[in-house]
Structure 1
Amino acid sequence: MAVVSISMPDELLDRVDEFSEEHGYTGRSEVFREAARNLLGEFEDRKLEERDLMGVVTVLFNYESTTVEERMIRLRHEYDGLVASNVHNHVGDHYCMELFILEGDLETISTFVGKIRATQDTLTVDYSVIPVDEVGPFANAE
């Protein structure tokens, strides 16, 4: 098995160590292996391929990190055909939340979420996707 070195803020590493201990992992390596498997498998769901999807992405960041907000604006414009709606909201005294509502295919949504996740200084990135034809009272009606 290869040994990998990564850099991260001390507080994030502390959270990983606490999580590992609280959930019975043998150590942080096991947590990172599981996280990597989950991340890589998220968009490999074959039932979502070749379907129109709706997605919701929420991003939380410190408002003093203006580079994050600038990056969100650039991505919003770069993916204008994917982003159906975008909301910026203040959360507490120091945070901003960016909400993206998406309509598109799996590959495009995956790329968009990946670029958001790769944005330095984001605190959290959460998302969900659902096939459009499974939404509403007439889903799967023939």
Structure 2
Amino acid sequence: MPIVSVSIPESLLEKIDVYMEKLGFVGRSEFVREALRRMIEQLEAAGEGRERRTWIIVTVTRHDEGSTADRKVIEAFHSHQPLVRALYHQLLDDKRCINIAVVEASALELKPLMSTVRRIRGVERVWFMPV
């Protein structure tokens, strides 16, 4: 089996170790392989073609002093306005916000939006799934 080297922040590695033990995984590699399998299953279920479908996109952003992540995420959704059917923004706590978007797009149309959002510094999490 080929070996792939991946850099993981310490905070994420700590969480992997916690859930690895809770869920009974033998090692980190097994845990990561399962996570990748699940993501690939999700992507395959979503389709790869030009067929349009409805997606839910959820982002968690930091809005610490000086952070512009939240504004940039909202701007990214606005710049893809023809695809966005609804956008909800809410403070989670004094340091984080959540944005939930309902998007109607093919996987090909969704790719530039997801790429933009994932590159924004200060975005803690991005989830997406087909409805």
Identify whether the pair has TM-score above 0.5, normalized to the shorter chain.
Answer: yes
Aligned to 2:14: 14
Task: Give the match for residue 75 of structure 1.
Answer: 76
Match of 1:98 in 2: 99
Tell me the secondary structure at the aligned position of residue 8 of structure 1.
coil
2:16 alignment partner AA: V
Alpha-carbon distance between aligned partners in 2 of 1:97 and 1:34, rounded to the nearest angstrom: 27
1:17 partner letter: D
Partners of 1:124 and 1:59 in 2: how far apart? 5
Q: SS state of the match for residue 42, structure 1?
A: helix
Distance in 1 separating the partners of 2:112 and 2:41: 14
**How many residue pairs were aligned?**
130
CA contact (8 A) 2:47 2:107 kept: no
Q: For 1:24, give the aligned amino acid.
A: G
TM-score normalised by length of structure 1: 0.73
Inter-partner Cα distance in structure 1 for 2:47 and 2:4: 33
| Deviation string, structure 1 residues 84-108 (Cα, Å, up to 9, x no partner) | 2222211122111112111122332
Note if contact 1:43-1:110 (Cα within 8 Å) is conserved in structure 2.
no
Q: Does the Cα contact within 8 Å between 1:83 and 1:100 map onto a contact in 2?
A: yes
1:97 partner letter: I
Aligned to 2:52: 52
- Matches of 2:46 and 2:6 in 1, distance apart? 31
Residue type of the alignment partner of 2:126: V
Structure 2 unpaired stretches of 5+: none
Q: Which has the larger radius of gyration?
A: 1
Task: Using the aligned pairs only, state the percent identity.
Answer: 23
Q: Is 1:62 matched with 2:29?
A: no
Q: Equivalent residue of 1:43, what SS?
A: helix
* Structure 1 gap segments, 5+ residues each: 131-142
> Per-residue CA shift, 1:41-91, capped at 9, x if unaligned?
322227785543222211112212724224313421332221122222111
Task: Give the letter aligned to residue 113 of structure 1.
Answer: M
Give the RMSD, CA atoms, in angstroms: 2.6
